[in-house]
Structure 1
Amino acid sequence: MSEWGSTNRLPAHVALVEGLAFDGDLHLLTRPAYPQPGGSETPLEMLNRPDAFFALTLLEGRVALVPKAQVLEITCPEDVPPPDPDRVTAAKHVELEVILPGGAEYRGLATLELPAGRRRALDYMNGAGGFFALWADGHTRYINKSHVRLIRPLD
């Protein structure tokens, strides 16, 4: 086993707040008992772990350690994950428009898993974790909450 442990790689485009961007592979921890296909954590779980940095293998093969606080957004080529049958009744899909610094605007779906009585988009955005996921057009954007200019629920 390498010093990275067991990970699955996922292609990603990482945009930082000052305008730099990198293409490479995220390293997602492999957990054999994990219920999702592939047996690894999701990018959202990785980003919301308390670790300050994550590893990104760049296209030329070198590894960059990226500070999560400097990430504006990460885009991965995947669509809405298949619903977990045990959690589908707890989840609510909400359409959001997200505006980032510099004026970039995105529309997509966010999946809210919140307790009864706290199922608004506001509750989701104020909830745990520094990142949230927005699904649209065959890809997922993982957006850093601390760098959002404005969010408008469209439902």
Structure 2
Amino acid sequence: MSDWARTRRLSCRVVLSSDEPLTGDLHLQPLGSPEHPVETPLEMLNRPERFFALAVDDDVRLISKDAVRAVAVERDQMESHPLARRVEVQLRTDDGADYRGTVEIELAPPSNRLLDFLNQPEPFLALLADDQSWCLNRHRLLWVRPL
């Protein structure tokens, strides 16, 4: 039996470095603990595998994470961290698109500045906007401005 039956599907919109954006379903893995039963989109994107599966209509696309600028999901599909420091930011990607929202910084002082957060090794970061949440590829960011 295929592992696809055990994944949780989550609707999203994937903005690529070239080509049109894709709307489809991510396949998130079960993690098995009661506190954390399924991975988040951010966790999936930050796994070391170079590709992820996106179900588009009745087809499957295997998407290179390096080619992804952003992944949009519903606001309530991203974990919020109540003890994190929140910083309102504007970000610009390498295609000239602007994003505004809040990043949550969970780093120990004195290394908990926005600059320290941006320089973390994970390729994707979460941006919580009013209407949706974004997973943005750090390698596709031109600049970030605190608001």
Deviations 1:29-83 (A, max 9, x none): 11220524xx21011100000000000000x221110000000111011246344
SS at match of 2:95: helix
* Aligned residue pairs, count: 146
Q: Which amino acid aligns with 1:109?
A: T
Which is richer in strand?
2
Counterpart in 1 of 2:112? 119
Is 1:29 the counterpart of 2:39? The answer is no
* Identity percentage of aligned residues: 38
Asked if structure 1 preserves the Cα contact closer than 8 Å seen for 2:29 and 2:39, the reply is yes
Deviating beyond 6 angstroms after TM superposition, the runs of 4 or more aligned structure 1 residues are none
SS at match of 1:122: helix
Q: Which amino acid aligns with 1:11?
A: S
* Residues in 1 aligned to 2:34 and 2:132: alpha-carbon distance in whole angstroms: 22
* Structure 1 spans left out of the alignment, 5+ residues: none
SS at match of 1:93: strand
Is 1:81 the counterpart of 2:79? The answer is yes
* Structure 2 spans left out of the alignment, 5+ residues: none
Asked if structure 1 preserves the Cα contact closer than 8 Å seen for 2:69 and 2:137, the reply is yes
Deviations 1:9-40 (A, max 9, x none): 1100001111421100001111220524xx21
* Residues in 2 aligned to 1:29 and 1:48: alpha-carbon distance in whole angstroms: 13
Counterpart in 2 of 1:106? 99
Counterpart in 1 of 2:52? 54
Q: CA 1:97–1:32 in 2, change beyond 3 Å: closer, same or farther?
A: same
Q: Which amino acid aligns with 1:48?
A: N
TM-score normalized by structure 1?
A: 0.87
SS at match of 1:44: helix
Q: Which is further off, 96-105 or 64-73? A: 96-105
Counterpart in 1 of 2:4? 4
Asked if structure 1 preserves the Cα contact closer than 8 Å seen for 2:75 and 2:129, the reply is no
Asked if structure 2 preserves the Cα contact closer than 8 Å seen for 1:34 and 1:41, the reply is no
